[in-house]
Structure 1
Amino acid sequence: MIYLVGWQYNGHDDQYPAWFEVNPLLKRPEDATAEESLRWLMREAKKYHTTVSLHLNMTDAYEDSPLWKTYVKEDLISKNEDGSLMVIGKYNGRKAYQVNYKNEWEKGYAQHRIQVLLKMLPLQEAGTVHIDAWFARASKGHEESMVTEAEYQKKICNYWMAHGVDVTSEFIIDYMSGLIPYAWWFNQGSQRYLDIPAKLYCGGKINPDLKGDQALGFLFGTSMHGEGVWTDFNTFSSRKDWQGLFAERFYLNSVPYFFLNQFERKSLEGKGQNRMARYSQGVEVHLADSTVRQYQQLLRKGDDVLFPAIWMQEKALVAYSKEGYQQRVWTLPIGWDHVAEVELYQVSAKGNVFLKKTKVKKQALTLTLEKGQVILVLAKE
């Protein structure tokens, strides 16, 4: 999934709460408008098993927005106790004001904004949208608590869902459990991992800036962000050799995360580096030796992995090694005990390349991987 940041007007955070015009820089020469080009991109991406959607903001309002006068006149901006409009930040040299969720909803403007987008772009085909920096704040000038604003925030979220669009958020929003399924930054304590199953609320990465326990990402799974792969944030330039870094982060993070999210989290045992997460169906994750096992069969050891490719219809495994290895014997996981032969494919950004067929003896497969190599293992039953 790719969420486009800065797709509207002149780019990131520009002219909210309006979002009625596509950034002209997205226009292709062969299209009449940038809007037409964005619709093309969203539909073309599906050919490559990719969903393109939007990065939005439903909180901020700027004075240069086409909707500014309307939002002030209709009392759709939250207020301080003295009646002044609530400023919540300053971005790109402009003050950002808090949209009042209650008034915006009750007067129909929130619904109108969403309906405009649904008509402009195939968001219902994408099935998802990202609402960034989505915070509920008390509006003392309206004598409204944060709880009241949060209740209207839920109504807005339900409205998106009723139209076939799931919402992702920047951070975990506790009271949105069961509504928002995914947070881009997933900082939380270990007990919350045990209390809230992944099928209800899961997330991307643990934000190191928030001083979170990074080890929880290994114990309970963590996905990845693509923006730091395609762009080098040290130089703010595009990486031409992004494939290797993408593979490393995907196969060492997202693939174990997909696997672990299938199971019920049972317990977290031990302390510090000696912690172990125990799951249903015999799955254990050990921090001390960086292993993942199911019924004692090894699926991961450090930066070497052999996990089920659960997103594929075929019975398949993916093998990856950050540093490579020679003639390593893997015991194939549960459900592979009757597999006698497999096909091996080299995975690359240009597609899968058949390598060879190989026999499986006593549920054991011997592999040799080069540094950073990805191998797809398909069962031939």
Structure 2
Amino acid sequence: MAIRKVTRGWQVDIQPEGRGGRRVRRTFQTKRAAEQFKVEQKALANTGEWRAPEREHRRLLDLVVDWFDLYGFTLKDGENRKTKLISLCERLGNPRATNITGESWLRYRKKRLEQYSQRGKPINPNTVNHEHAYLSAMFGTLIKLRSWKRDNPLRGIPKIKLDEPDLIYLELEEIVRLLDELAASRNLDVLVITKLCLATGARWGEAQRLEAQRLRNGQVHFIRTKNSKARAIPIAPELEAEVRQGRPQTGPLFRISGYDAFKHAVSRANICLPDGQLTHVLRHTFASHFMINDGNILKLKDILGHKTLAMTMRYAKLAPRHLSQALEKNPLQTIQCQQSVNAVMKKDPKKNPEAIVTF
């Protein structure tokens, strides 16, 4: 039997060189992949180029090391991702890489969601989705580099479907309170970094690492960003002067990270933020008020440096036109308008209905 359905997928069982030749067994997640492997092996045998596949003895941790040495070291977050993959290997028991299957991952995922973090909170499903993405990307990259000659075991396995998170941003009065607290603390660097984030939509790290030579001609030039995409954002002359005042003419403008000082100012301003939304709320605040003030969604995409419009569309619902249409076109408003028209027509049957304006 050449191809048959087994518990783990579709198993190819062939002798490419014919009866008496070396027997090859390989299991794939899909029948199509199994058939493709069978055809490839037969074609190589017909041309005399076939060689018996090497046995795969590497464990999952070995793949992580190979991935990092071949590719991961080139990524900005390569070291961090390697650390997370190593931790994932430990939780999985560092099995043979060939034993990782879609089913084994789903079983691990269920067990992982039943665990608790060091803070005593249940593991966030989004954390598990990130683990899924990192592991799948590792296999996918090794396949492209031909270091892994089998299928990606997580291909086709869906991630956990999550509810869209609430869009958190600061209202104008909250912004004023925050800036007042930062000014009162006399930590001018943190105050200016905060203003830069609010004026440009920059990430905290991008603003904090800003160099003097990147501030020119009324624009802030952000480089070495999270997605490696450089962008230039105009700022007001007053803010540019405030950024330059008393700071170096070359090199880094700010000498501190300012994260803790910002955190304390948020607390003193009585602003409550969800976990993971401390300094990043400034970027959300810029984008949200940009759309509230009827900004263009495509322009916002460029300003934020998003790679896809889908990443920016979360802010579109704040646009005044979007909100006003919800007010004007809901069924209750339609009924009220119709009742107003009927009331006017009852009093004056000769009145042209199209001339009646309702609000």
Tell me which interval the TM-score lies in, with the shorter structure as reference length: under 0.3
Between the two structures, name the one with larger relative contact order (CA 8 Å, sep ≥ 6): 2
Relative to total residues, which structure has the larger strand share, 1 or 2?
1
Q: TM-score, normalised by structure 1?
A: 0.22
Larger radius of gyration: 2
Relative to total residues, which structure has the larger helix share, 1 or 2?
2
